[in-house]
């Protein structure tokens, strides 16, 4: 996602020069108008409606809606759990990527394919699946239903692919000569990993973690069944918003939504800036 | 030694997070054979939910495919001010919570909104009916087709299209006979991703559909409703069906995914 | 005239690529647009094809003002530098494409394509795909594809640029012969003067977005309009402050009126030709490096050795330009 918005030039302002016959091969014309209209009707206008509804009562109303005890608790839990999930993903995602790139074992292809499953699986199914193994009837006798640990597990499930899939290609492209050069200069495997491999992986790890974090704070479906939606305990922000919509309190739902949107965008903007900064450093 | 530990840690993590839970659902579903599964999936409500799901998904895929191809061509082949903004806006839906998507559509097109009021007078109900569910599904799956096509279109270049023009092909003939065959694989990849996302969307649809059983209930909503009504086997059966769709998606996209350096 | 380009200008952003370019291409001719890269020759070719729209000026093809016509209405054949083969179509379908677009009857298409494939020696490859062809074969397929629609003019953008030296030479001869058979007005872009001289019957030299000179290869070689054209069309060296062809310099062992003293620095034997590198010391100028091209016989007759002092003079008939 490109975060710097070029506001001086609205896309709708361009006009196709000339008639259809001489239409230059590079003029966007009617297509651009339709694309912008489509995006506006489906994405921009509705999101603007949320932001508007969220702040129309003034900053005080907005703030008091966001800091209503249950919403505030839900936001805190969401951000905390998402941060924890991002950190676990950095470690486990990198380990999995490493094993998938550097290790060889029977069935590796299948494991590699399975990584994408959380993206393809409907979130409600993900929740149900986890509840079957970690719920009241758990065959492992691990009951995480209606606990914060359950929320974290659900978020770990749906965010699994992010770090793996950002680190994996970098690891694949990594020049093995570099490591061999380090070994030849007397560095051991641990030192080589810390000083040579890790610095090359960090940008991908950060960007994967950032994406996992934004996905986690937005997550709804997988936590619905597993968390039990206990306010102040296991209710995440999206579920809190859902409850307010069901209660016809769209104003405060919009306020909490706006807070959530702002956090997501900030994370994405920071990621974009980091990426640019990184690519400038080469 | 380190190699074995890493392998063990990675595989154990995947086993407990991914493989065991999904395997358990499959095992629970089919523990008593196929008959009860078929029976629970052929109830009137289940069949209706499947029809609604497919209807909504087809609409979303068609709309996003037309938009996706058009937007990808704009982004790759045309120059215009504000191109970076358009590019960023297309990715925006990925950063929005499904629940917020639903709320946004209610606020924009619900009957208490200005636009929703006009539509209501015109006899069109968007929220709590299929159009709203289509909008929600289109929203969440909007970037998938565009993002699948853009890199392939870039890599293909416009040489072949220009050659077709000099040979007398018009814009449409060039698109149909040169551009589309060139992006066919990527287009298929994007459509499958979009279809899978559309069939499995839960949160946004849960908000805008009103979850009316037998009317606006999709398969994902059916899973939830049956589970909460203690019809665990039926919920598991429907969940397994959706999981099968997900696995099929993975297999198909593995085949279709544009390979590097191709 | 098959093509008349009048006062065409074109800029990309703020960079002017063509400045007031006017070119006439005679019907049935084989013309080379020759110049250094970045000189605007490819852009001129694309303007003629309609792939770029000029900012100012007109393009007339066979008497019709084509400036505002889209490429598909100009009836030009264009061969792209990297062939632009339709990857998803067989050789046959590639060549048939223009005819299919024109909705010609199937039987006619088959007949015409088979003729063309024979012409370009690809008849046994008709069911292959571009990926299964060599570079030279793909180039010939692209040519057949462009010729299939019986274009008014055939335009080729660096047609041999991406091929290795051996295949290049072969295709050059082959293109010349093809042109003699088909007689379609042909314009090709090249940065290789040898290629332009070898193949074309007229050359337009383009540099810095402007036409430097146009004429037959002979004219351009013998009567270059500027030092630039002279140095681009063949080897040159400087003697006594003037630009001279290295084969137009006489080497004498004793001083004569009008000769310049020089020391032999190096003698390079290139088979039949011998290249003598010297340092000349004329009265007016600082010492300058000169090279002279002589035959092996001449070199042996002079018994040249490195370090010898000799005397240089341009032969009376030599072309020379003041720099």
Cβ <8 Å between B165 and C87: no
Give the best residue of C88, C104, C154 to mutate against chain B (max B CB count within 10 A): C88
What is the predicted pLDDT for the residue at A202? Answer: 92
- SS3 percent helix, strand, coil of chain B, rounded to 5, is 80, 0, 20
- CB spacing of C101 vs B181 below 8 angstroms: no
Q: Which pLDDT value is given to residue A12?
A: 33
Chain C contacts in chain A segment 10-29 (CB below 8 A): 21-25
DSSP letters along C123-151, please? GGGTTS-GGGS-HHHHHHHHHHHHHHT--
Name the residue facing A3 among B86, B88, B97 (closest C-beta): B88
B102 touches chain A (CB under 8 A): yes
Q: Taking CA atoms, what residue in A is nearest to B79?
A: A26
Whose structure tokens read 């995602």?
Answer: A93
pLDDT at C37: 87
Q: How far, rounded to the nearest angstrom, does the alpha carbon of residue B50 sit from its chain's CA centroid?
A: 15
Mean pLDDT over C219-228 rounds to 91
Q: Structural domain of residue B244, as residue ranges?
A: 34-256
Residue B60 in contact with residue B204, Cβ under 8 Å?
A: no
| Residue in chain B nearest A126 by alpha carbon | B22
Question: What is the span of the domain harbouring residue A233?
Answer: 44-281
Other residues' Cβ atoms within 10 Å of the Cβ of residue C294: 21
Asked if residue A25 has pLDDT above 50, the reply is: no
pLDDT for res A126:
95
Question: Mean of the pLDDT values across residues C242-254?
Answer: 89
Whether A19 has a pLDDT exceeding 50, the answer reads no
Work out the mean pLDDT of chain C and round it to a whole number.
Answer: 90
| Distance, C-alpha C314 to centroid of its chain | 28
Which of A34, A35, A40, A272 to mutate to test binding with chain B, by most B CBs within 10 Å of its CB?
A35
Q: Pick from A26, A96, A129: which is nearest to B21 by CB?
A: A129
Residue C97 structure tokens: 């494409």
List pLDDT tens digits, range B168-214: 998 899 999 999 999 998 999 999 999 999 999 999 999 999 888 88
Contact assessment for residue B125 and residue B110, using Cβ atoms and an 8 Å cutoff: no
Q: What is the pLDDT of residue B255?
A: 83
Q: Quote the tokens at residue A203.
A: 């940008």
Rounded to an integer, what distance in angstroms lies between the CA atom of residue C94 and that of residue B128? Answer: 52
* The pLDDT of residue B227 is above 50: yes
Measured between CB atoms, which of B73, B107, B199 is closest to A254?
Answer: B107
Q: Is B140 on the interface with A (CB under 8 A)?
A: no
The Cα C71–Cα C67 span in angstroms is 10
> Domains of chain C by range and CATH?
3-229 (3.40.50.300), 236-322 (2.40.50.100)
User: Band of the pLDDT at C256, cuts 50, 70, 90?
Assistant: confident
User: Which residue in C51, C89, C148 is closest to B162 by CB distance?
Assistant: C51
Question: Quick one: pLDDT at residue C284?
Answer: 64
Amino acid A10: pLDDT: 33
Contact (CB, 8 A) for A125 and B223: yes
Contact C51/B165, CB-based, under 8 Å? yes
Q: What is the pLDDT of residues A165-194, one digit of tens each?
A: 999 999 998 888 888 888 888 787 888 888
User: Could you tell me if B39 and B13 lie in one domain?
Assistant: no
Domain-located, residue B186? yes
In a domain, A241, yes or no: yes
- In chain C, % of residues over pLDDT 70: 99
**What pLDDT is stored for residue A18 in this prediction?**
32
pLDDT in tens, A117-136: 999 999 999 999 999 999 88
Distance CA C166, CA A135 (A): 74
Asked whether residue A11 is domain-assigned, the answer is: no
The string of DSSP letters for chain A reads ------TTS-GGG----S-STT--TT--HHHHHHHHHHHIIIIIHHHHHHHHHHHTTHHHHHHHHHTSHHHHHHHHHHHHHHHHHHHHHHHHHHHHHHHHHH---TTHHHHHHHTTHHHHS-HHHHHHHHHHHHSTT-TTS---TTSHHHHHHHHHHHHHHHHHHHHHHHHHHS-HHHHHHHHHTT--HHHHIIIIIHHHHHHHHHHHHHHHHHHHHH--HHHHHHHTT-TTTT--HHHHHHHHHHTT-HHHHHHHHHHHHHHHHHHHHHHHHHHHHHHHH-
The β-bridge relationship of strands C202-207 and C210-215 is antiparallel
Residue A188 with chain B: CB contacts under 8 Å: none
C274 touches chain B (CB under 8 A): no
Distances (CA, A) of C8 to A69, C47, C182: 72, 9, 29
Q: Which residues of A touch C53 (CB under 8 A)?
A: 22, 24
CATH code of residue B189: 1.10.3720.10
Specify whether B75 is located in the same domain as B9.
no
The total number of structural domains in chain B stands at: 2
Q: What's the confidence (pLDDT) of residue C271? A: 85
Task: List all chains that touch chain B, counting a touch as 3 or more CB pairs closer than 8 Å.
Answer: A, C
Please report, for the domain that includes residue A201, its CATH number.
1.10.3720.10
- Do B39 and B151 belong to one domain? yes
The pLDDT of residue A133 is: 92
In a domain, B203, yes or no: yes
Q: Taking all residues of chain A, what is their mean pLDDT, rounded to a whole number?
A: 86
Q: Which residues of B touch C98 (CB under 8 A)?
A: 167-169
**B54 close contact with A: CB closer than 8 A:** no
Are C86 and B167 within 8 A, CB to CB? no
C-beta neighbour count of A135 within 10 angstroms = 18
How many contacts, defined by CB atoms under 8 Å, are there between A and B?
269
* Pair of tokens at residue C47: 């303007």
> Is B87 found in the same domain as B23?
no
The predicted-structure confidence for B95-152, as pLDDT tens digits, reads as follows: 899 999 999 999 999 988 889 889 988 888 899 999 999 999 999 999 999 999 999 9
Residue with more model confidence, A224 or C284: A224
Q: Are B104 and A52 in contact (CB under 8 A)?
A: no
Look at the block and give the residue holding tokens 């040579």. A196
Q: What is the pLDDT of residue A26?
A: 52
Residue A19 counted as domain residue: no
CB of A139 within 8 Å of a chain C CB? The answer is: no
What residues does C243 pair with on adjacent strands? C238, C321
The predicted model gives C161-187 an average pLDDT of 86
CB contact under 8 A, C72 and B162: no
Report chain B residues whose CB lies below 8 A from the CB of A245. 99, 102-103, 106, 207
Q: Is there a contact between A35 and B70 (Cβ–Cβ < 8 Å)?
A: yes
Mean pLDDT score, A131-146: 89
**pLDDT over 80 at B250, yes or no:** yes
- How do residues C126-163 score in pLDDT, each as one tens digit? 999 999 999 889 989 999 999 998 898 999 999 887 78
Query: Minimal Cα–Cα distance from C77 to chain B, Å?
Result: 6
The answer to whether residue A37 neighbours chain B at the CB level (below 8 Å) is: no
Q: Is residue B261 part of a domain?
A: no
Answer yes or no: is pLDDT of C85 > 50. yes
Residue B13 and residue A128: Cβ atoms within 8 Å?
no
- On whether the CB atoms of residues C139 and C79 are closer than 8 A, the answer is yes
| B262 pLDDT above the threshold of 80 | no
**Count of residues making up chain B:** 262
Residues B3 and B122 in one domain: no
Round to whole Å and give the CA distance between C240 and C314. Answer: 10
Mean pLDDT in residue range B161-168: 92
What is the C-alpha separation between C262 and C264, in angstroms, rounded? 7
Mean pLDDT of A140-155: 92
For residue A9, being part of any structural domain is answered with: no
Q: What is the pLDDT of residue C175?
A: 87
Which pLDDT tens digit goes with each residue over C51-79? Answer: 999 999 999 999 999 998 988 888 899 99
Is B262 part of any domain?
no
Model confidence at B260, in pLDDT bands (50, 70, 90)? very low
CB C171 within 8 A of CB C186: no
Q: Which of B82, B96, B32 is nearest to B237 (CA)?
A: B32
Cβ separation A22–C53 shorter than 8 A: yes
The two tokens of residue B85 are 């903004």
**From the CA of B30, how many Å to the nearest CA of chain A?**
14
Cβ contact A39–B86 (<8 Å): yes
- Judged by CB atoms closer than 8 Å, whether chains meet at B250 and A250 is answered as no
Contact A75/B at CB under 8 A: no
CB count, 10 Å around CB of B51? 12
- Helix (H) or strand (E) holding C94, with range, is helix C91-101
Share of residues in chain B with pLDDT > 90 (%): 72
- What number of C-beta contacts closer than 8 Å exist between B and C? 65
A14: confidence class by pLDDT, cuts 50, 70, 90: very low
Which member of B160, B168, B173 has the closest CB to residue C84?
Answer: B160
B14 in contact with A, Cβ within 8 Å = yes
| Contacts with C131 (C-beta within 8 Å, 6 or more apart), sequence order | C87
Domains in chain A, number:
1
Q: Which residues pair with C186 in a beta bridge?
A: C30, C154
Question: CB distance from C51 to chain B under 8 Å?
Answer: yes
What SS3 class is residue C113?
Answer: helix
Q: Which residue of A has its CA nearest to C66?
A: A22
The verdict on a CB contact (< 8 Å) between B170 and C72 is yes
C320, pLDDT greater than 60: yes
Give φ, ψ of C314 to 5 degrees: -70, 140
Measured CA to CA, the distance from residue A134 to residue C195 in angstroms comes to: 76
Q: How many CB atoms lie within 10 A of CB A252?
A: 23
* List of chain C residues whose C-beta atoms are within 8 Å of the C-beta of residue A25: 51
């Amino acid at each position: 996602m490109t975060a710097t918005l070029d506001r001086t030039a609205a896309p709708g302002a361009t006009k196709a020069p000339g008639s259809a016959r001489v239409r230059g091969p590079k003029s966007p014309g009617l297509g651009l108008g339709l694309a912008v209209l489509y995006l506006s009707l489906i994405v921009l206008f509705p999101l603007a409606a949320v932001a508007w509804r969220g702040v129309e009562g003034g900053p005080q109303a907005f703030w008091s809606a966001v800091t209503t005890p249950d919403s505030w608790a839900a936001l805190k839990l969401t951000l905390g759990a998402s941060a924890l999930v991002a950190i676990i993903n950095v470690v486990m995602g990198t380990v999995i990527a490493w094993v998938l790139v550097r290790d060889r074992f029977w069935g590796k292809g299948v494991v590699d394919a399975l990584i994408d499953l959380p993206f393809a699986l409907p979130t409600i199914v993900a929740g149900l699946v986890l509840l079957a193994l970690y719920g009241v009837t758990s065959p492992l006798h691990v009951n995480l239903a209606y606990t914060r640990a359950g929320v974290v597990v659900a978020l770990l499930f749906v965010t699994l692919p992010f770090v793996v899939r950002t680190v994996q290609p970098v690891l694949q492209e990594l020049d093995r000569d570099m490591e061999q050069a380090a070994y030849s200069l007397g560095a051991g495997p641990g030192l080589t990993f810390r000083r040579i491999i890790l610095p090359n992986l960090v940008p991908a790890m950060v960007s994967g973690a950032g994406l996992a974090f934004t996905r986690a704070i937005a997550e709804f479906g997988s936590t619905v069944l597993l968390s039990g939606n206990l306010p102040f305990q296991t209710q995440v922000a999206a579920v809190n918003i859902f409850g307010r919509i069901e209660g016809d309190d769209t104003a405060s739902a919009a306020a909490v939504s706006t807070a959530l949107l702002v956090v997501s965008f900030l994370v994405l903007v920071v990621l974009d800036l980091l990426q640019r900064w990184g690519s400038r450093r080469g | 030694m380190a190699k074995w530990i890493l392998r063990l840690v990675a595989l154990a993590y995947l086993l407990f997070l991914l493989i065991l839970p999904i395997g358990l659902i499959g095992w629970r579903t089919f523990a008593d054979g196929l008959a009860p599964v078929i029976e629970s999936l052929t109830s009137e409500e289940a069949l209706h939910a499947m029809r609604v799901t497919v209807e909504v998904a087809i609409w979303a895929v068609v709309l996003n495919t037309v938009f996706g191809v058009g937007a990808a061509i704009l982004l790759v082949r045309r120059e215009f001010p504000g191109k970076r903004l358009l590019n960023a806006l297309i990715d925006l839906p990925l950063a929005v919570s499904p629940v917020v998507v639903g709320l946004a559509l209610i606020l924009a097109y619900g009957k208490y909104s200005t636009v929703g009021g006009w539509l209501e007078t015109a006899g069109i109900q968007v929220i709590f009916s299929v159009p709203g569910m289509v909008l929600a599904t289109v929203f969440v799956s909007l970037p998938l087709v565009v993002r699948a096509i853009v890199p392939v279109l870039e890599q293909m270049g416009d040489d072949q299209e220009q050659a077709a023009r000099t040979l007398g092909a018009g814009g449409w003939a060039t698109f149909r006979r040169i551009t589309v065959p060139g992006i066919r694989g990527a287009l298929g990849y994007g459509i499958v991703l979009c279809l899978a996302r559309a069939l499995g969307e839960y949160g946004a649809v849960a908000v805008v559909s009103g979850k009316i059983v037998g009317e606006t209930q999709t398969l994902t909503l059916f899973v939830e409703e049956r589970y909460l009504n203690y019809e665990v086997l039926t919920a598991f059966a429907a969940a397994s069906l959706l999981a099968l769709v997900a696995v099929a998606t993975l297999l198909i996209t593995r085949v279709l995914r544009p390979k590097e350096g191709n | 005239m098959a093509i008349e380009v009048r006062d065409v200008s074109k800029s990309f952003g703020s960079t002017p690529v063509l400045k007031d370019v006017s070119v006439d291409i005679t019907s049935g001719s084989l013309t080379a647009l020759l110049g250094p890269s970045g000189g605007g020759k490819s852009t001129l070719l694309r303007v003629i094809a309609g792939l770029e729209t000029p900012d100012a000026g007109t393009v007339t093809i066979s008497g019709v003002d084509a400036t505002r016509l889209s490429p598909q209405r100009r009836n030009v054949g264009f061969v792209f530098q990297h062939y632009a083969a339709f990857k998803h179509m067989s050789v046959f379908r590639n060549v048939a494409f223009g005819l299919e677009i024109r909705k010609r009857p199937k039987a006619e298409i088959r007949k015409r394509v088979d003729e063309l494939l024979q012409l370009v020696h690809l008849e046994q490859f008709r069911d292959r795909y571009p990926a299964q062809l060599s570079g030279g074969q793909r180039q010939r397929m692209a040519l057949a594809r462009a010729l299939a629609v019986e274009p008014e003019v055939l335009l080729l953008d660096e047609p041999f640029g991406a091929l290795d030296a051996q295949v290049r030479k072969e295709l050059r001869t082959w293109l010349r012969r093809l042109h003699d058979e088909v007689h379609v007005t042909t314009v090709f872009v090249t940065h290789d003067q040898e290629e332009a001289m070898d193949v074309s019957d007229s050359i337009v030299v383009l540099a810095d977005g402007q036409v430097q000179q146009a004429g037959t290869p002979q004219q351009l070689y013998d009567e270059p309009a500027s030092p630039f054209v002279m140095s681009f069309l063949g080897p040159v060296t400087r003697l006594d402050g003037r630009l001279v062809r290295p084969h137009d310099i006489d080497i004498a062992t004793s001083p004569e009126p009008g000769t310049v003293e020089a020391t032999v620095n190096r003698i390079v034997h290139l088979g039949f030709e011998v290249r003598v590198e010297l340092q000349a010391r004329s009265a007016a100028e600082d010492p300058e490096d000169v090279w002279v091209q002589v035959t092996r016989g001449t070199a042996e007759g002079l018994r040249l050795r490195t370090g010898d002092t000799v005397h240089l003079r341009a032969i009376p008939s030599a072309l020379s330009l003041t720099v």
